[in-house]
Chains A and B, each alone.
Chain A
Amino acid sequence: MIMLNRFSILACLLSAGLVLFFMLLPRPVLSQNPFTSSETVISSKTRPENFTRPKKQNSFLVKITELQQQLNSKMASMIRETKKTGSIKPLLTLIITAFIYGVIHAAGPGHGKAFALAYLVSENRSIYTAFLFGNMIAFFHGLSGTGLVLLLHFILQTGVAKSLGSVTNITQIISYSLIAMLGAVLFIKNGWQIFWQKEIKPDKNKTEEPEGSRVAGRSGTFVAALIVGGVPCPGVVLVMLFALSMNMTGLGLALAFALSFGMAVTISIVVAAGLAGKKILLGSMQKHANFAGIAQRIIETTASVLLMLLGGIFLAAVI
């Protein structure tokens, strides 16, 4: 059993504080379209009569929202122009615009960035894996949106507006349940290591992802990315639908790909930056090898608890 020193007690308190902070977070606002879904109800936290104190607004969110509106309008005009003139001239500009839209779109709330980061931190993955994982999440997110539109429009021949809400809800329930379960499994694994591993030192080999665990690691990363990114992206759905309304399915697919690629850039950078934060933190403790080892285990266990909690909180919001 490990001997706790003052550093590890502090780290334990920090972990407990973080967990408590996330437990006290309000239930998230549902991601359903309030026009077409009965699920969206104003929560007590968003009712205006509950506002009590002045707050500073998130200027970054406001700016990227305005930018998205402009890009959205620009993309629609260019798609109309392409349809009207039959010219492929605006195509390159259109694809670049869709890519930028994706970059900015994923910079806003959501898109699984928090889940991805919690998973990668709890598993002690490399920065390379973080980039790969971020890319996979974005492409699964875009692919599920594209697949959903094509399935509903061409095969089931049903309205997308109404079905989008129910399909999204089902995928959210599956995704968040699996995320919570994944968090629980990682928590047990990391907790086991804390209490039963006799010598605690920073696990450098684990960071390198040795050859033996590479195949299992990669398939695990693939499955985790599928779980996190499986919920269809409404942004991709709406772009696809607009292209379909113009009878330009091919263009819709190209734009969905460009948009997903843009989201991949943002998600990858964010999760890699988060993971780098952890590595910098542990790197700064190299002189205290024992403490660094304990800190690594505590960070990983806390991240797995966060993953479990986030999955649970989001699941509670969608069922």
Chain B
Amino acid sequence: MKLRPVLYALLILLFIFPSISLSHPHVFVVNRVIFVFDKDGLAGIRLSWNFDDFFSSMIAMDYDKNHNGSFEASEISLIKKEAFDYLANSDYFAFIKIDNKSFKVKYVRDFVPKLKDGKLSYNFFVPCHVKALSNFKKVVIAVYDPSYYSAVFFGKNNPVSIEKGSRFKTDWKIAENMKETYYYDQIHPVEVIFNFCLKNDNVK
């Protein structure tokens, strides 16, 4: 029996069979992360998502009932109920670690959907209190859809910003986590690695 054709056949089959799964990206999200401080340290993380035109049009068609190009209070509450709250099942796509320990996102607040020139955006706040000390605390956040129905990318401009952080020393970087994968071991999460501590003049 010739071996080369057998190898070709096996290669072809191996190429095809790993693709057995259901989901693939249908929604594209550009994500921005804002670290928000209060007087004690990190208060939480605000996520700002800009959606692709196709998904935007679907939400606008269904929920901008009066077709005025913006959402009123009643429309916002319906969007929250029918096109946002279900994300609780996916931890709101926010996977956080504080000093290398997982922090499960159980709830979020201040949800604001907006329409601008037909493009949809969601903004919401993830409470995540971490007290600042004299030594650095590390908070890592990866934002992704585990089902891969949506593909989440970091924005090219200002992917990370800091609010009310003047009392604290901060640094951050965005990096692919080569040690972890999601969606059946196929994709590495891209994370913001954020470090902060009290500035010297604020240390008691």
A residues apposed to B, CB below 8 Å: 25-26, 28-38, 40-43, 45-49, 51, 54-55, 57-58, 61-62, 65-66, 68-69, 72-73, 76, 80, 105, 108-110, 113-114, 117, 159-162, 234-235, 238-239, 241-242, 244-245, 270, 273-274, 276-278, 280-281, 283-285, 287-288, 310, 314, 317
User: What are some 8 contacts across the A-B interface (CB < 8 A)?
Assistant: A29-B23, A29-B148, A40-B90, A42-B89, A51-B180, A238-B57, A241-B57, A284-B5
A25 to B89, CA, bound (A): 22
- Closest Cβ of chain A to B57, distance in Å, is 4
Q: Residue B162 at the A interface, CB < 8 A?
A: no
A35:B83 contact, CB within 8 angstroms:
yes
- Closest Cβ of chain A to B145, distance in Å, is 6
B102:A49 contact, CB within 8 angstroms:
yes
A58/B82 contact (C-beta < 8 A), A34-B87, A317-B22 known: no
- Closest Cβ of chain B to A254, distance in Å, is 16
Which stretch (B9-17, B125-133, B164-172) binds chain A?
Answer: B9-17
Task: Name the residue of chain B whose CB is nearest to the CB of A243.
Answer: B57
A48/B187 contact (C-beta < 8 A), A41-B89, A114-B19 known: no
Task: Name the residue of chain B whose CB is nearest to the CB of A241.
Answer: B58
**Chain B residues with CB below 8 A from A58, complex form:** 186-187
A72/B180 contact (C-beta < 8 A), A33-B149, A35-B87, A109-B20 known: no
**Chain A residues with CB below 8 A from B55, complex form:** 238
B1:A287 contact, CB within 8 angstroms:
yes
B153:A278 contact, CB within 8 angstroms:
no
**Chain A residues with CB below 8 A from B86, complex form:** 34-38, 40
**Chain A residues with CB below 8 A from B181, complex form:** 51, 55, 57
A109:B87 contact, CB within 8 angstroms:
no
A31 to B8, CA, bound (A): 32
Q: Residue B42 at the A interface, CB < 8 A?
A: no
A242/B6 contact (C-beta < 8 A), A30-B23, A277-B13 known: no
A284/B186 contact (C-beta < 8 A), A42-B146, A109-B19 known: no
A35:B84 contact, CB within 8 angstroms:
yes
Most buried by A among B12, B142, B151: B12
Which stretch (B24-32, B33-41, B196-204) binds chain A?
Answer: B24-32
**Chain A residues with CB below 8 A from B109, complex form:** none
Cβ-defined partner of A73 (8 Å) among B17, B52, B189? B52
Query: Interface readout for B70-101 with A: 1 if CB under 8 Å, 0 if not?
Result: 00000000000011101101110001000000
A314 to B22, CA, bound (A): 8
- Closest Cβ of chain B to A237, distance in Å, is 8
**Chain A residues with CB below 8 A from B148, complex form:** 29, 109
Cβ-defined partner of B180 (8 Å) among A48, A159, A281? A48
A159 to B57, CA, bound (A): 12
B20:A238 contact, CB within 8 angstroms:
no
A28/B22 contact (C-beta < 8 A), A61-B187, A280-B9 known: yes
A48 to B22, CA, bound (A): 20
A46:B53 contact, CB within 8 angstroms:
no
A34:B89 contact, CB within 8 angstroms:
yes
- B interface majority secondary structure: mixed
B residues apposed to A, CB below 8 Å: 1-2, 5-6, 8-13, 15-17, 19-28, 52-55, 57-63, 82-84, 86-87, 89-91, 95, 102, 118, 142, 145-151, 153, 178-189
- Closest Cβ of chain B to A51, distance in Å, is 4
**Chain B residues with CB below 8 A from A80, complex form:** 53
A66 to B190, CA, bound (A): 14
B5:A34 contact, CB within 8 angstroms:
no
- Closest Cβ of chain A to B97, distance in Å, is 8
**Chain B residues with CB below 8 A from A234, complex form:** 26
B9:A34 contact, CB within 8 angstroms:
no
- Closest Cβ of chain A to B200, distance in Å, is 35
**Chain A residues with CB below 8 A from B91, complex form:** 42
A110:B23 contact, CB within 8 angstroms:
yes
A57:B53 contact, CB within 8 angstroms:
no
B20:A48 contact, CB within 8 angstroms:
no
**Chain B residues with CB below 8 A from A62, complex form:** 187
B59:A48 contact, CB within 8 angstroms:
no
A60 to B171, CA, bound (A): 32
**Chain B residues with CB below 8 A from A109, complex form:** 19-24, 148
Task: Name the residue of chain A whose CB is nearest to the CB of B51.
Answer: A35
A283 to B189, CA, bound (A): 44
Task: Name the residue of chain A whose CB is nearest to the CB of B18.
Answer: A58
Cβ-defined partner of B90 (8 Å) among A26, A42, A117, A310? A42
A29:B82 contact, CB within 8 angstroms:
no
